[in-house]
Amino acid sequence: MRLLALFAAAVPVTVVLVTPVLAHGPTPQKVDQSVTIAAKPEAVWKVVGTFAAIDTWHPDVAKSEAVDGNAAGGRRKVTLKNGGTLDEGLDEMNDKTFTYSYRLSDADLKALPVSSYSATVTVTPDGAGSKVEWLGRFYRGDTGNEPPEELSDAAGKAAMNAYFANGLKGLKAKVEGGKAK
């Protein structure tokens, strides 16, 4: 035992403390907007159900160009009035249930301060009219641990909420008033 004590005293010992590394990467964000429109779901779907026709009802959209139509795999390139572009791909389109889902392909932080998103638009009966819900999930524009304020979770959420709200307001005006945006 005494030999062990002498050996331990003569041999340097390195102590390594293990501490957890705390990183805060991006967390998924969600926005959910809806509007009630005084028109039957079929009438609302005629306007909102053409994937590339977003430029006919969304006031923030300058133009929208289609590739491959309304089938899954179809695409639209949306040019916003702020100069940014959204390259979006259609994942699913269901004309019977009045719903479609799509996702952003390439981020353009000038268009929206988010790095990616997926969204679903659904039209359902609501009394004598319709309810249109636009649900989106996304990540902030800067997915690093310390994003600048303009690319933060809060900035992404505010921009997506505004984009969806403006779109639904434009859709309601188009369907109820019969007016273009």
- Residue among 72, 64, 63, 38 nearest 171 (CA): 38
User: Which tens digit of pLDDT belongs to each residue from 85-137?
Assistant: 999 999 999 999 999 999 999 899 989 999 999 999 999 999 999 999 999 99
Ramachandran sector of residue 25 (left: φ over 0; alpha: ψ -120 to 50; beta: rest): beta
What pLDDT is stored for residue 161 in this prediction?
97
d(CA 20, CA 133): 42
Share above pLDDT 90 across residues of the chain, in percent, rounded to a whole number: 73
Q: What is the 3-state secondary structure (H, E, C) of 38-103?
A: CCCHHHHHHHHCCHHHHHHCCCCEEEEEEECCCCCCCEEEEEECCCCEEEEEEEEEECCCCEEEEE
pLDDT above 80 (res 1): no
- Quickly count helices (H) and strands (E) in the chain: 3, 7
pTM: 0.83
Q: Dihedral of the CA atoms 119, 85, 178, 128 (nearest 10)?
A: 10
